[in-house]
Amino acid sequence: MFIPISPVSPRYPDHAAPRRLRRLILATAPPLLLLVVPMVLVALYGERLPDRVYIGNWAIDTKYEPTWQGWTSQPLFGAVMWCEALLVFSFLRYWRLPQVQRGLVVGSFLIGVAVPVSGALWLLALVDAPGVVARPAWHLAVEIAVTAGALALGWAAAGPLPPTPVVTATPPPHAPTMTLGPWQRAMFVTSTWSARRLLVAAVMAALTAWAVSNGFGGWQGMALLALLTIFEAAQARTHLQIDGSGITVSLPWLPVLHRTVPYPKVRFAEAMSEPLPGRYKLDDGEAGWGIVSGKGPVLALSLSDDRWFLYSTREAETAAALINGWLSRQRQETA
């Protein structure tokens, strides 16, 4: 049954308002270091750099590099403004999603802290350089540590997310409901495949292999591309489990990654003949999140934050009835 409820509507309360200004400031401030750090380094050491120097890099063969003055004359200001505009646009685009906003803060810290530190390390190696300069091996260890630290710092700085509202009302009469006895337990397990994700993962794997073989983008870019490839491939097969703790989506090929919808965050469950419009993946979107492998029946949960959880399964009717039965029994007992 399809219920024409908009996943995001202005009449709903804005659950993302707490700490939103803080998250906006933290998402836009760190990239400014991309300008500040080079300016400080030029002011301190600009006169101690050779006119030309060879640099050996892990990603590319020895090449010519200009002095810091040449480096800072590149369009850094335009690049930073473009980065800031992209962050602000993304933040406004997901104005009501604190989960995505926290991700933007983490990404901003990664760009604003890890990139300037990496650049400063190899540029400091040029100070008073007499000739050919080979980057010390410890630079890589420092870059990895700073990258991990920037991610952790961004996550901590964003602060805790606003609490999601809790639902206490029983599912509406139109929702399919399975009557559960006082001693019966809820248990439902199914899985789904996505050929499209397998194809995308194969393309990304080929791109990653090409980047590694050609030393394109430095180790940070190649590592990120490899992680995205693994994440995309892992989502080709997903596992749905409904039990006493809630509705859990897990990745059998990457068990460490899973997400659970607890029952207090669910208004009701529906079985729909086709997915609602919107983007439904393991990460949050405006419409909601979930796993949609194509057209066909989906289990749809109306969530307390006015979004939806969708999961493609031919047994959507059974799963929805089981969830509503569990919700009805729990909330009637509580009342």
Coil, strand, or helix at residue 43?
A: helix
pLDDT-derived band at 74 (thresholds 50, 70, 90) equals low
Residues 242 and 151 in one domain: no
Residues 148 and 243 in one domain: no
Domain boundary among 158, 178, 205: 158
Residues 26 and 151 in one domain: yes
Q: What is the percent of the chain where pLDDT is above 90?
A: 38
Does the residue 320 lie in any domain? yes
Q: In the prediction, which pLDDT does 22 show?
A: 95
Mean pLDDT taken over the chain: 83
Residue in the block written with tokens 């710092």: 153
40, 43, 145, 20: which is closest to 94 by C-alpha?
20
Q: How far apart are CA 27 and CA 109, in angstroms?
A: 8
Can you list the alpha helix ranges (DSSP code H) found in 182-217?
Answer: 195-214
CATH number (domain holding residue 327): 2.30.29.30
Q: In the prediction, which pLDDT does 241 show?
A: 95
The residue among 126 and 84 whose pLDDT is bigger is 84
Q: How far apart are CA 40 and CA 46, in angstroms?
A: 9
Residues 32 and 149 in one domain: yes
pLDDT tens per residue across span 132-150: 677 788 988 999 999 999 9
Domain boundary among 158, 174, 205: 158
Domain boundary among 136, 158, 180: 158
pLDDT of 181 higher than 50: yes
Q: How far apart are CA 129 and CA 155, in angstroms?
A: 38
pLDDT-derived band at 63 (thresholds 50, 70, 90) equals very low
pLDDT tens per residue across span 85-122: 999 999 998 898 899 999 999 999 999 998 889 888 87
Does the residue 46 lie in any domain? yes
User: Which of 82-91, 240-249, 282-291, 302-311 shows the lowest per-residue confidence on average (mean pLDDT)?
Assistant: 282-291
Q: In the prediction, which pLDDT does 48 show?
A: 78
User: Whole domain around residue 270: which residue ranges?
Assistant: 188-194+235-334
Residues whose CB is less than 8 angstroms from the CB of residue 187 and which lie 6 or more positions away in sequence, other chains included:
242, 243
What mean pLDDT do residues 272-285 have? 87
Query: Looking at the 3D structure of the chain, how many domains does it have?
Result: 2
Residues 265 and 141 in one domain: no
Residues 117 and 244 in one domain: no
Does the residue 11 lie in any domain? no
pLDDT tens per residue across span 4-48: 343 444 445 678 888 999 999 999 999 999 888 877 887 788 777
Q: In the prediction, which pLDDT does 190 show?
A: 92
The residue among 126 and 161 whose pLDDT is bigger is 161
pLDDT of 217 higher than 90: no
For residue 259, the cross-strand partners are 249
Does the residue 223 lie in any domain? no
Does the residue 204 lie in any domain? no
Does the residue 8 lie in any domain? no
Does the residue 244 lie in any domain? yes
Does the residue 173 lie in any domain? no
